[in-house]
Amino acid sequence: MSALERLRAAAPVMRDDLAGLVAVESPSADLEALARCADVVAELGRRCTGLAPERVVVADRPQLRWRFGGGPVRVVLIGHFDTVWPVGTLARWPFAVDGDRCTGPGVVDMKGGLVVLFHALTALAEAGDLDGVAVVCNSDEEIGSPASQALIEDTAAGAAGALILEGSAEGRLKIARKGIAHYSLHVTGRASHAGVAPHLGVNAGIELAHQVLRIAQLGAPPGTTVTPTDSTVGTTSNTVPAAARLSIDVRAFDPAELARVDEALRGLRPVLPDAQVRVEFGPSRPAMPESASASTFALAQRVAAALGLPPLTGEAVGGGSDGNLTAGIGVPTLDGLGVIGGNAHAEGEWADLASMPERAALVAGLVAAIGREP
């Protein structure tokens, strides 16, 4: 029986493993929930590979790492177990299966990818091909991986390839991703009574409105997007607001564009007399250019053909992942190798259960080939 046939026979187990992961809610901001989910992921990995993970706690966040064999890392597989869904979501939207389609919070982003990852490792273990493989499962990908970035980069440094188990829309692999930069704009005004002496105040909300209009003009879509997002202004309804804050999301394929927008944001000046503005740089990820994935994508196409799987296609996307980090340190990176599905981050998120064995076989074949094919 081939590895693909064995994985297809294990499809019911993979479905149950996914149900078990989804049952443990794990929003990025809830450290206790993340710790509970880390225990479940660790046990899944131990069961599939025979090895318990190294637990790395950074800023009270649990991260998991496996390293197989005593030599250098040849290929690293990366997944995350945090989700965007708050605790309590399962009460109204439980994991459910209808034929080959399942729904539930986090099934495609990316607990389905974790199931694919560990069952691929089972196939590699059965073939005696785990030496030189490393795995990182982190708990903060959805918020930019600030606590796990160093662990990911340290583990992947010098590897011949990095495989990212993010979900896949219609089977397409991610061959390029935009770089991402997050900023916070802080506006300082002066409070006063809105009824008695509004003229004595400096309205931080009005200053923020001026700045939002300026910021929104910095994009050059579709390649470069600059999006004002969440904001807060003032304290009470009868007080001229003395402070305001705005989050800014910047994305571009071209590093020069990221630098252009960075310079423009840092050069913002107030419009209202006596107002002050300050820009703070937040979490960021470098762009993952198509050149970072080209060789591994070509290899994946050959592996898929050898397995008798449908031809692979690729796409460049605006969303970021930990693949941006591995590509940023020069490691050949291929993304979107997880479960096929859709509607990530939205009600109705779904995954195709039938795709999990095929993706696990593809990942196992890629891991076996990376660093060993010319």
What share of the chain in percent tops pLDDT 90?
Answer: 97
Average pLDDT in the 212-235 region? Answer: 96
Average pLDDT in the 301-317 region? Answer: 97
359 with 337: CB under 8 angstroms?
yes
Average pLDDT in the 72-76 region? Answer: 97
Q: Which of 294, 7, 366, 320 is nearest to 146 (CA)?
A: 320
User: What string of DSSP letters covers 290-306?
Assistant: HHHHHHHHHHHHHHHHH
Helix (H, G, I), strand (E, B) or coil at 86: coil
Q: How far is CA 367 from CA 40, 178, 240, 275, in A?
A: 24, 25, 60, 56
pTM for this entry: 0.92
Please give the pLDDT value at position 186.
98
The domains of the chain are located at 3-178+287-369, 179-285
Structure confidence by residue, pLDDT tens digits, 156-201? 999 999 999 999 999 999 999 999 999 999 999 999 999 999 999 9
Structure confidence by residue, pLDDT tens digits, 84-138? 999 999 999 999 999 999 999 999 999 999 999 999 999 999 999 999 999 999 9
Choose, from 82, 166, 352, 358, the residue flagged as catalytic. 82
End-to-end alpha carbon distance in the chain = 28
Give one word for 253, left, alpha or beta, with left for phi > 0 and alpha for psi -120 to 50: alpha
Structure confidence by residue, pLDDT tens digits, 8-55? 999 999 999 999 999 999 999 999 999 999 999 999 999 999 999 999
Structure confidence by residue, pLDDT tens digits, 246-286? 999 999 999 999 999 999 999 999 999 999 999 999 889 99
Average pLDDT in the 359-370 region? Answer: 98
Taking the domain 179-285, which CATH number applies? 3.30.70.360
Kindly report the backbone phi and psi dihedral angles of residue 83, in degrees, each rounded to the nearest multiple of 5, phi listed first.
Answer: -130, 175
Q: How far is CA 259 from CA 84, 256, 266, 296, 346, in A?
A: 29, 5, 11, 28, 31
Please give the pLDDT value at position 374.
60
Residue with tokens 């945090």: 82
Active site (annotated) includes residue 82: yes
Kindly tell me the number of DSSP H helices and DSSP E strands found in the chain.
11, 18
Look over the chain and give the mean of its residue pLDDT values, rounded to a whole number: 97
Question: Does 373 have pLDDT greater than 80?
Answer: no
363 with 120: CB under 8 angstroms?
yes
Q: Which of 252, 336, 246, 338 is nearest to 287 (CA)?
A: 252
183 with 97: CB under 8 angstroms?
no
Please give the pLDDT value at position 128.
94
Active site (annotated) includes residue 129: no
Amino acid at 335: D
Q: What single-letter DSSP state applies at residue 356?
A: H
Q: Which of 157, 79, 150 is nearest to 114 (CA)?
A: 79
Query: From the CB of residue 31, how many other CB atoms can be counted at a distance below 10 Å?
Result: 15
352 with 112: CB under 8 angstroms?
no
Element housing 278 (H / E): strand 276-285
In 139-195, beta strands by DSSP E: 161-164, 173-177, 179-188, 192-193
Q: What top-level class would CATH report for the domain 3-178+287-369?
A: alpha beta
Task: Kindly state the tokens that stand for 23.
Answer: 């049952």
Choose, from 141, 142, 166, 335, the residue flagged as catalytic. 141
